[in-house]
Amino acid sequence: MNYPNGKKPSMLQQNHQQLETSFSNRGMTLEEDINDTNHYYLQFNKAVIHKKPTPVQIVKVDYPRRSAAVIKEGYFKQASTTDYNGVYKGKYIDFEAKETKNKTSFPLSNIHDHQIDHMNAVVSHGGICFLIIRFSKRQETFYFPAMKLFSYWESQFKGGRKSIPYQDIKEFGEEIPLQFQARVDYLTVIDKLYF
């Protein structure tokens, strides 16, 4: 392609254009999509839902210059619970976001005991608790209720599968179609199921 003045773009410009084309949309992750969605919800006063910070204890800091500090050593203060929490229509919302490249199932090894304990506590107090699972190779994202997750979790310790089959997630979950502004509009699923 030539510029309007008839000149061809330089090789550097051509390479830059090729890089822009081939790397567009690369690196978009489920977490980024959810963060963008939550920002949209907050901006339009639909809900207040945030990513929880991971509690870290800083042990050693270097001060090479007065204006710069470098953390050299730290550790997690406690096991984190789930990724996101907040409030929507007066209900407490709490969920974990997981992405898998597996096409046929969601491995339960992606979830931890303390997260299950936390989700059980949320459900027992009347909160809305769930997983958002993205099958990246299928380009599909699902809302999966914590109550359904618990039975698969317990079953693995009694000789059952160590994963949730894709078909079960499709059957017992709700697909969340990707959209433009609220990329992962999980509140539409919550509206359908709870309101």
1 lies in some domain: no
Q: How far is it, in rounded angstroms, from Cα 139 to Cα 175? A: 11
For residue range 90-142, what is the model confidence (pLDDT) as tens digits?
999 999 999 999 999 999 999 999 999 999 999 999 999 999 999 999 999 99
Annotate 36-95 with DSSP letters as a single string. Answer: HHHHHHHHTTS-EEEEPPPPEEEEEEEEEETTEEEEEEEEESS----SEEEEETTEEEEE
CB-based burial, 35-47: b 16+ in 10 Å, e otherwise:
bebbebbeeeebb
CATH number, residue 46: 3.40.1350.10
Dump pLDDT digits (tens) for 9-55: 554 444 444 434 333 343 459 999 999 999 999 999 999 999 987 76
Q: How far is CA 147 from CA 70, 177, 195, in A?
A: 43, 22, 18
pLDDT given at position 47: 98
Look at residue 5 and tell me if it is in a domain: no
Domain-located, residue 16: no
> Number of folded domains in the chain?
1
In a domain, 119, yes or no: yes
Q: Is residue 152 part of a domain?
A: yes
Contact 111, 120 (CB under 8 A): no
Q: What pLDDT is recorded for position 81?
A: 86
> 116: Cβ–Cβ under 8 A, 6 or more apart, which residues?
149, 150, 153
- Is 118 domain-assigned? yes
Q: Which domain holds residue 102?
A: 28-52+79-194
Please check whether residue 72 lies inside any domain of the structure.
Answer: no
156 lies in some domain: yes
- pLDDT tens-digit profile of 152-193? 999 999 999 999 999 999 999 999 988 888 999 999 999 999
**Angle between helices 186-194 and 30-43 in degrees, nearest 10:** 70
